[in-house]
């Protein structure tokens, strides 16, 4: 805010939210700090680029006046969004009853003995506010669809890995059981072959043995059948 003796000016920087091919406006507020009418005039270094309404006027005692500055649509942005344009606001005490139509350039002529206050205003380009990013439907607040997809993918992957491990464990148990049964069957076959050999020896000796030997042969044959039946049933 300017602290001149005649007018207070706010703001001292003309900020335009710059957009290509779009007309943009900003405002100034002039406050008369005196008990007399104050005439003002607004000048710019680039009059073809800006439109000021009103560019001259009267601010009544202890009153305020708004000035609208409009920048014409621009076809290209300046380098690094830097603007060298400036404005100059001149103010001078006017005679009571002076109307805006009666304001002349001579009123702001310092050489004519008029006390003229001057305030320089800068032009600044600012980036326009960006709209908020849309939230995809079905996604929870604070999370994105991609994050949800990743979480689901991790969950599915962990379930598949768990199922694979369980299947691998069961397969290992099955292989161990088959190996054990194969070993038991091989042992049973070896025992069966040994018993057959002993049976053959008993047969050879049966002709030389007494009736008791024949009775023992029958008992051994019965036991052999029981053992073989048990082993085959277990296998």
pLDDT digits (tens, 9 = 90+) for 49-92: 999 999 999 999 999 999 999 999 999 988 889 999 999 999 99
Window from 18-32, 106-120, 190-204 with minimum mean pLDDT = 190-204
| b/e code 101-122 from CB counts within 10 Å (16+ = b) | eebeeebbeeeeeeebbebebe
Question: How far is the C-alpha of 57 from the C-alpha of 43, rounded, in Å?
Answer: 13
CATH number for the domain whose boundaries are 7-126: 2.60.40.10
CB atoms closer than 10 angstroms to residue 235? 11
Q: Mean of the pLDDT values across residues 110-139?
A: 81
Question: How far is the C-alpha of 40 from the C-alpha of 225, rounded, in Å?
Answer: 130
Rg (CA), the chain: 54
> 194 or 73: whose pLDDT is higher?
73
Pull the structure tokens for residue 169.
């464990």
pTM: 0.54
Residue ranges per domain, the chain? 7-126, 159-234
- Report pLDDT for 91: 97
Helix axes 145-206, 211-234, angle to 10 degrees: 170
- Report pLDDT for 149: 44
């Amino acid at each position: 805010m300017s602290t001149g003796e005649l007018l207070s000016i706010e703001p001292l920087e003309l900020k335009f939210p710059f957009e290509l091919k779009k007309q943009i406006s900003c405002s100034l507020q002039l406050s008369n700090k005196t008990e007399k009418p104050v005439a003002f005039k607004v000048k710019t270094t680039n009059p073809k680029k800006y439109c000021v309404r009103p560019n001259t006027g009267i601010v009544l005692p202890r009153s305020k006046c708004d000035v609208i500055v409009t920048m014409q649509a621009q076809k290209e942005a300046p380098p690094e969004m830097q603007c060298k344009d400036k404005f100059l606001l001149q103010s001078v005490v006017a005679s009571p009853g002076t109307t805006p139509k009666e304001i002349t350039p001579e009123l702001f002529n310092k050489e004519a003995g008029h006390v003229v206050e001057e305030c320089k205003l800068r032009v600044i380009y600012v980036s326009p506010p960006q709209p908020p990013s849309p939230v995809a439907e079905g996604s929870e607040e604070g999370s994105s669809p991609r994050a949800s997809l990743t979480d689901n993918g991790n969950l599915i992957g962990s379930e598949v890995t768990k199922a694979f491990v369980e299947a691998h464990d069961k397969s290992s148990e099955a292989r161990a059981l088959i190996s054990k049964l194969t070993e038991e069957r091989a042992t049973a076959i070896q025992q069966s072959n040994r018993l057959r050999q002993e049976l053959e020896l008993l047969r050879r000796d049966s002709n030389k043995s007494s009736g008791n030997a024949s009775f023992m042969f029958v008992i051994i044959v019965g036991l052999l059948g029981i053992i073989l039946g048990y082993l085959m049933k277990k296998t």
